[in-house]
């Protein structure tokens, strides 16, 4: 299968490209500015003619810095404008792809406490839910053109190569890690291996619309904290109060670290997706090289 991919140099794309190629697929990396430029609204549609599938991973990182007005605009526009440009272009091709698998996030659900959230659950309130709703709606031109569209709603991605887990490690290694806020908020997570598998599954399985890409066993922040401490043999006795997180990180703390999303991967389980990593502590040990399991 010939597959076009945006965002191929990020954490997910860097792992997904070699997986697809090892399975015999041909991957066209959509590079900027050569193939497209979402900020300028330009795209070379000729390179998309004849591709059988498209994977859309492009988007500004939501972590790493405080959410200023400019940062929030980049987060939103990089997702919504880029996805709309891509979808409109695919709809106008003479030979359209069979499927568009586009990134989304469980931020769609917002802060929902212990409510079990499935793909049919309504969106929450706040900046991230608004971004995710617009992000997913931006694929409407592709859907109207008859292309099968999948929105992969990704949870907290765990990888030993980078991302959130690497950012968490330093304070825990120094013995000053601990729960954030009450610790009762649910963090729905997925290993990078399983996330890449979920994208491949979405290409091949008879699924459409939102697909929750999370492990079947979400953890509370307190459970996550303890599991990480056990995995690296460090204490976890230094909590970060909610007010301190908000002072340090502003709005981002409330929507990323303190928000609770107990998400269930209903569609993946219904279509017999094989999770490699279901349980948190063994997954953390594996990713951090603490055992071979």
Domain boundaries, given as residue ranges, for the chain: 2-287
Instruction: Pick the closest to residue 2 from 41, 40, 54 (CA basis).
Output: 54
pLDDT 10s digits, 131-150:
999 999 999 999 999 999 99
Give 17's Cβ-side CA count (13 Å radius).
16
Please check whether the domain covering 2-287 is classified as CATH 3.40.50.720. yes
User: Which residue in this structure is represented by tokens 């601990």?
Assistant: 178
Instruction: Pick the closest to residue 274 from 215, 203, 189 (CA basis).
Output: 215
Encoding tokens for residue 133?
């709703």
CA distance 285 to 293: 8
pLDDT 10s digits, 227-247:
999 999 998 988 888 878 787
How far, CA to CA in Å, does 185 sit from each of 4, 177, 179, 220?
37, 17, 10, 5
How would you write the pLDDT of the chain (293 residues) with one tens digit per residue? 999 999 999 999 999 999 999 999 999 999 998 999 999 999 999 999 999 999 999 999 998 778 999 999 999 999 999 999 999 999 999 999 999 999 999 999 999 999 999 999 999 999 999 999 999 999 999 999 999 999 999 999 999 988 889 888 888 988 888 999 999 999 999 999 999 999 999 999 999 999 999 999 999 999 999 999 999 999 898 888 887 878 777 888 888 899 999 999 999 999 999 999 999 999 999 999 976 33
> Listing from the earlier edge strand, what are the strands of the sheet with 2-6?
26-29, 2-6, 53-56, 99-105, 148-154, 209-213
CA distance 209 to 205: 12
């Amino acid at each position: 299968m010939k597959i076009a991919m945006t965002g191929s140099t990020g954490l997910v794309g860097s792992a997904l490209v070699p997986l697809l190629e090892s399975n015999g697929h041909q991957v066209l990396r959509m590079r900027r500015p050569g193939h497209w430029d979402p900020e300028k609204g330009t795209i070379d549609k000729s390179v998309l003619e004849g591709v059988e599938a498209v994977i859309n991973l492009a988007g500004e990182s939501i972590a790493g810095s405080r959410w200023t007005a400019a940062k929030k605009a980049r987060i939103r526009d990089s997702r919504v404008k880029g996805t709309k440009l891509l979808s409109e272009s695919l709809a106008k091709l003479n030979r359209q792809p069979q499927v568009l698998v586009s990134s989304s996030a469980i931020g769609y659900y917002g802060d929902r406490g212990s409510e079990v959230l499935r793909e049919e659950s309504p969106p929450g309130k706040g900046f991230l839910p608004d971004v995710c709703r617009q992000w997913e709606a931006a694929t409407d031109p592709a859907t109207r053109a008859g292309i099968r569209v999948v929105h992969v709603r990704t949870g907290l991605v765990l990888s030993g190569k980078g991302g959130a887990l690497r950012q968490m490690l330093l304070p825990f290694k120094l013995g000053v890690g601990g729960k954030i806020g009450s610790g009762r908020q649910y963090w729905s997570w997925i290993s990078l291996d399983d996330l890449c598998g979920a994208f491949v599954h979405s290409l091949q399985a008879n699924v459409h619309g939102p697909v929750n890409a999370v492990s079947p066993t979400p953890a509370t922040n307190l459970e996550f904290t303890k599991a990480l401490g056990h995995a690296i043999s460090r204490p976890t006795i230094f909590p970060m109060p909610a007010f301190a997180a908000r002072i340090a990180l502003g709005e981002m703390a409330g929507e990323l670290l303190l928000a609770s999303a107990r998400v269930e991967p209903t569609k993946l389980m219904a279509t017999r997706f094989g999770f490699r990593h279901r349980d948190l502590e063994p997954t953390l040990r594996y990713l951090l090289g603490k055992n071979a399991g």
